Amino acid sequence: MKTSLLVMGSLFCLMLLVACGTAQPEVVEVERVVEVETVREVEVEKEVPIEVELIREVEKEVAVEVETIREVEKEVERIVVATPTPVSIPESGRLPGRVDPAGSIISVSSYLGFQGVDTNISQDSATKVYYDEVFDYAIGQNPDGTLTPGFATGWEVSPDQLTWTFTIRDGMKFHNGDDITAEDVAWTWTRAVGEDSLGGFALEVGPLLSSGFTVAGNTVSVSTKEPQSTLPLFFASASPPRSVVFPKDHFESVGGIDNFREAPVGSGPYKWADRVPGQYIQMEAFEEHYEKNPGYKILQIWDVAELNTRMAMLKSGNADLITASVRSVEELENADLQVLQSPAANISWIWYNYAWVPGHPFNDKRIREAISIAIDREAIGTGLYAGQTTPACCYWVVEGNIGYPGDVDPHPYDPNRAMQLVQEAGFEGAEIEILTFSGDADFVDQPGLSEAVAGYLEAIGLNTFVSVVDGPVLRETFDNAIKTPDEIETIVNEQPPYQIAVRGSDTRLHSYRGSHIYYHSEGRRQMMRMPDILDPLLDKAGSSFDLQDQHEAMADFHRLLNRDFWAGPLLEAGAVFGASEKVGSWTPITGKPYPHNHWTIRP
C-alpha cells in the first residue's frame, strides 16, 4: 500500500492570554487600528472540505466556514492568519477515536539523544522522540501545530503582565496510579530551574523569573521580572522536553534521580517498560490517560543512525515506521512501502563564529556575503537531495511560522561577485573550518551538505575543510555565554582557521525562541552579541502581547539577518517517513521531522 501524507504548514495562532479548550480555526475580530495591507486572493480548490479564516477587526468572535479560498487583489484593513487543516491517513484533521490497544509496533529514529529523562540535564530535541510518549507537557500541540491544553487546561497573565497562572487538569494519574497534583507540578518546575540544574528550563526560563512557583488550589503561578508574552512557548511540547511533571512522592521514595531514571514514571500515553542503551526503549500503553489513547499495546523506539540500516529494517519487516530521507522516496515506492511526507519540516543554515567581534574577518560584511553567495543552493538540492529541497531565505523560520517575512529572497548564487568580494577584503587563501554533525532529525546528511559548501568556498579561493563533531561540541563551540572575555580574545587571536557551522533544525512555530538563544546578547548561547542592532527587535517580540506585533518584530529581525548576511540560510527540506502496512493511520504534528505522536497510530 502506498500512501502520501501531506502536512500543511500553518501560521501559529497563539492563544497566549487564555487557553480554555482545544484550539480551533476561528474568525476573531478585534477592535484596533491596523495598517492597510494588500492581499492577493485567487480561487483555489482545496483537498480539505473546510477552510477557516482568522480575521481581526472588531471585538467579537465569529466563525466562518468556506469550502474554497478566493483571492482578489484589493486593499483591506485586516490581518489574515490561515490555519489549514493537516491531512492524515486517511481522515483529515481529526485525532483518532478510542480503541483497545493491541499488538506491537516498532519505530526507528536516526538519533535518540542521551536517552535520559532528567530535565535538569540539557536535553536536545532528539530526546522528544520517546519523551513525548512517556511524559505530558503543560501545553500541547494540535496536528496543525497550534497550542492546545495539555495537563494545564488554561494559562493566563495578570493585568500587569508579570504573573502567569496555569490551571492544572483535575483527575489525572501518573503511571504508578498516584494522582497528579498542582504540588507535583510546582515541585517539578522548581527543581528544573534550581541552581544545580543544567537543563533548558534553568538556562532559558530561570533568568526571566522574579519568583518561585506557587500553588493555590489547582493552579500554579510564577512571576517574571518583565512582561514575557512568549513565556508559554517554553511550557509547550513544541520546545525541547521541559514542562513535564514528575511524581514528587515517588521520586523521593526511590532515592532521587539516580534510581528514577532507571524506571521513570510519567503521565503520558505510554509507560516506560525497558531500555537497552544504544538500541531501543520499550513502552506499554497507558490506558488511563485523560485524552491520548494508544492504538498499539507495545511500542519500541529504536536508535539507528544509518539510513541504509533503517531502510533495511523496514523492508525486512523489522520496523514499521522509520525516519527516512528526501532521497528515499523512490526507493520506498519501489519497495511498495508507504511514503509519509511533511513539507518544510527542516531548515539548514550557516553560522559565522565571532562575527560580532570587531576586527574579526567575519565582522566584515563582504566576507559573510561572499561565503553565502558562493553557494549554488539549487544545484545542491538537485544533486544531493534529488530535487526535494528548496533554497531557504531566512534563519530558523519557514513560511507559516510567526516571523516569516514573506518578502525576502534566498541569497543569490553569484560566484564572480563572491570572488571579487574575497579579493577586495584581502581574504584570499584564508583557512575555513566547517563544523557540522550527523543528525538527520536536524537536517538530512549535514556532512554531505557541508562538503558541498566546502567545494563552493574552495572555488572562490578559500582553503576549506570539514570537521564532523558531536552535536554538543558544535553548540559549545558557538556558545559565547560560557566563555569569558579573555577566553574569547584568546580564541580569536589563535585563528585561523576561521570557523563556520553548517547545521539545521526542525522548524518552530514561533521563531522567537531559536533566535533569542543565539542572536540576543543575553540569550542562552549568545553566538552573536549585537545589543544595539538585534536585541531591540527580539525584545519587542518577547514582550509584546499583540501577536501581529510579535510577527512584525520577528519579520524585521529576519530581514536584517538576510540583508546583512548575519546568517547564511541554505535549504528547506521536508521530513520523509517510511511505513509498513501496520501504520494504517497516523496523525503527526506539522514541523516535526522525527517519529512522534506514536499514540495516534492505528492499524
pLDDT digits (tens, 9 = 90+) for 387-422: 889 999 999 898 888 899 999 999 999 999 999 999
Per-residue pLDDT at 494 exceeds 90: yes
Per-residue pLDDT at 524 exceeds 90: no
Helix (H) or strand (E) segment spanning residue 301 = strand 298-303
Is 333 buried (19+), middle (13-18) or exposed (0-12) by CB count in 10 A? Answer: middle
111: β partners:
none
- For residue 258, CA distances in Å to 261, 263, 270, 573 come to 6, 10, 21, 39
Q: What is the mean pLDDT of residues 103-120?
A: 77
Which has the minimum average pLDDT: 143-147, 281-285, 405-409, 530-534? 143-147
The number of angstroms, rounded, from the C-alpha of 592 to the middle of its chain's C-alpha atoms is 7
Q: Cα separation of 358 and 222, whole Å?
A: 40
Spatial contact of 436 and 466, defined as CB atoms under 8 Å apart: yes
Per-residue pLDDT at 76 exceeds 50: no
85 against 255, higher pLDDT = 255
Q: What percent of the chain has pLDDT over 90?
A: 55
Query: What pLDDT score was predicted for residue 73?
Result: 37
Q: pLDDT tens across 431-469, in order?
A: 999 999 887 667 888 999 999 999 999 999 999 999 999
3-state helix/strand/coil string of 307-346: HHHHHHHHHCCCCCEEECCCCCHHHHHHCCCEEEEEEEEE
Q: Structurally, what CATH architecture does the domain formed by 343-574 represent?
A: Roll (3.10)
Cell 492499524, located at residue = 603
If you ran DSSP here, which 8-state letter would residue 92 be given? Answer: B
Portions of the chain given CATH number 3.10.105.10? 343-574
Query: What pLDDT score was predicted for residue 458?
Result: 98
Q: Cα separation of 299 and 93, whole Å?
A: 24
Q: Cα separation of 274 and 263, whole Å?
A: 8
Q: Cα separation of 391 and 573, whole Å?
A: 9
Query: What pLDDT score was predicted for residue 241?
Result: 57
Q: Cα separation of 170 and 154, whole Å?
A: 12
Q: pLDDT tens across 14-56, in order?
A: 444 434 333 333 333 333 333 333 333 333 333 333 333 333 3
Query: What pLDDT score was predicted for residue 592?
Result: 77
Query: What pLDDT score was predicted for residue 535?
Result: 96
The helix/strand count (H/E) of the chain reads as: 16, 27
Four-point Cα dihedral 546, 552, 554, 555, nearest 10 = 160
Query: What pLDDT score was predicted for residue 142?
Result: 78
Q: Cα separation of 316 and 433, whole Å?
A: 40
Which has the minimum average pLDDT: 24-33, 248-257, 348-357? 24-33
Count CB neighbours of 532 within 10 A.
7
**What is the residue type of 410?**
P
Query: What pLDDT score was predicted for residue 581?
Result: 94
Q: pLDDT tens across 168-203, in order?
A: 999 999 999 999 999 999 999 999 888 887 777 777
506: β partners:
346
Band (94; pLDDT cuts 50, 70, 90): low
Per-residue pLDDT at 257 exceeds 60: yes
Per-residue pLDDT at 365 exceeds 70: yes
Per-residue pLDDT at 268 exceeds 80: yes
Q: Cα separation of 329 and 36, whole Å?
A: 44
Q: What is the mean pLDDT of the chain?
A: 82
